[in-house]
């Protein structure tokens, strides 16, 4: 009796140790892959047709995103607070910058002329003082500002008029930098949220502009088959096919395919192969699971429990028909 308990304990311990080592190896591999992606996976920006620009894309750590948002003048605190209410988190930041070249010109002729109408200046012209406003002595300057609201306006440039010149106009249009920053959030169901900020920089000063309308529409994720190998730990039970005896086996299986809206949270997993320890007869068995369904999508508090049939065999050729539950690692 003690020998059987010891065998069961040793088998379970071996499976747990293997599972831990596999998890540790996968964790280290994921860390190396993440660093490799950050360092090398950069897609350069590319101009397409009709003024469409593919943004430069890459990966960054959370700290790098925080630093970049500060450089862009975007406070992530209210965005993060709002996303927490939606059970979501910040996934990335997109920034667009458009710079106008500006313009400065002088001795510009009028583009058109209009004859003064008598009703425009009912006062008679004094021949002794033909320039009562001093227009012949001083250049007239008008600063141009672009209004965005009743309170806010942004410098656009200035226009000057010198009445004593044949070409009396001069014009200055300020160089402008238009900035659009989009912060992308994602919740646990894969749904995305977009936060926008628009600003204009003139002469080194940034003006934040109120956005009148903002809309983001994303394609509804469709369920599809994927080649996505993943390890699963399971517990299967049933009976032997060629003898009247029950069977139960904790096991580890590698499933090669999945079907669902996302790779990380599938509805189905298919074609699993692996090994386990059959605790009734105290022996190593090999398992094949054709398909398992994620019942966690219909249960509270869990989302990663799969149920499905399996078949086990040992080196003597004994076959057991099993049914069990498994969770992804």
Residues in the chain: 329
pLDDT in tens, 12-58: 777 777 777 777 777 666 666 665 655 555 667 677 777 787 887 77
Structure confidence at residue 1 (pLDDT): 47
Could you tell me the residue ranges of all domains in the chain?
42-99+177-209, 222-328
∠ at Cα 58 (53, 63), nearest 5°?
Answer: 125
pLDDT in tens, 130-171: 888 888 889 999 999 988 877 778 999 999 999 999 999 999
Greatest mean pLDDT range, 149-153, 219-223, 232-236: 232-236
The per-residue pLDDT of the chain, averaged, comes to 84
* pTM given for the model: 0.61
Whole-Å CA distances, 179 to 172, 207, 209 = 22, 10, 10
Instruction: Please report, rounded to a whole number, the percentage of residues in the chain having pLDDT higher than 70.
Output: 90
Give the H or E element holding residue 14: helix 2-40
């Amino acid at each position: 009796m003690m020998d059987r308990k010891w065998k069961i304990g040793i088998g379970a311990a071996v499976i747990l140790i293997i599972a831990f080592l596999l998890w540790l190896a996968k964790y280290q591999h994921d860390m190396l892959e993440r660093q490799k992606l950050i360092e090398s996976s950069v897609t350069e920006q590319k101009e397409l047709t009709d003024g469409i620009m593919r943004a430069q894309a890459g990966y960054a750590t959370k700290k790098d995103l925080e630093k970049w948002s500060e450089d862009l003048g975007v406070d992530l605190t209210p965005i993060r607070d709002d996303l927490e209410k939606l059970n979501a988190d910040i996934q990335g930041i997109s920034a667009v910058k458009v710079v106008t070249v500006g313009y400065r010109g002088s001795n510009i002729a009028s583009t058109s002329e209009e004859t003064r109408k008598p009703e425009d200046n009912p006062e008679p012209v004094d021949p002794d003082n033909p320039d009562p406003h001093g227009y012949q002595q001083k250049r007239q300057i008008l600063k141009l500002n672009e209004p965005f609201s009743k309170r806010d306006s942004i410098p656009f440039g200035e226009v000057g008029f010198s009445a004593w010149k044949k070409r009396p106009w001069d014009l200055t249009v300020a160089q402008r930098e238009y900035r659009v920053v989009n912060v992308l959030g994602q919740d646990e169901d894969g749904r995305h949220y977009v936060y926008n900020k628009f600003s204009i920089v003139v002469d080194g000063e940034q003006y934040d502009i109120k956005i009148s309308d903002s809309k983001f529409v994303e394609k509804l994720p469709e369920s599809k088959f994927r080649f996505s190998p993943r390890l699963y730990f399971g517990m299967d039970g049933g009976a032997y096919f060629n003898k009247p005896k029950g069977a139960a086996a904790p096991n580890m299986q590698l499933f090669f395919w999945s079907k669902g809206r996302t790779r990380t949270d599938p509805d189905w997993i298919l074609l699993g192969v692996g090994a386990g320890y059959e605790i009734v007869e105290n022996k190593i068995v090999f398992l094949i699971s054709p398909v398992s369904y994620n019942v966690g999508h219909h249960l509270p508090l869990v989302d990663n429990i799969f149920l499905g049939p399996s078949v086990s065999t040992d080196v003597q050729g004994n076959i057991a028909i099993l049914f069990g539950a498994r969770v992804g690692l």
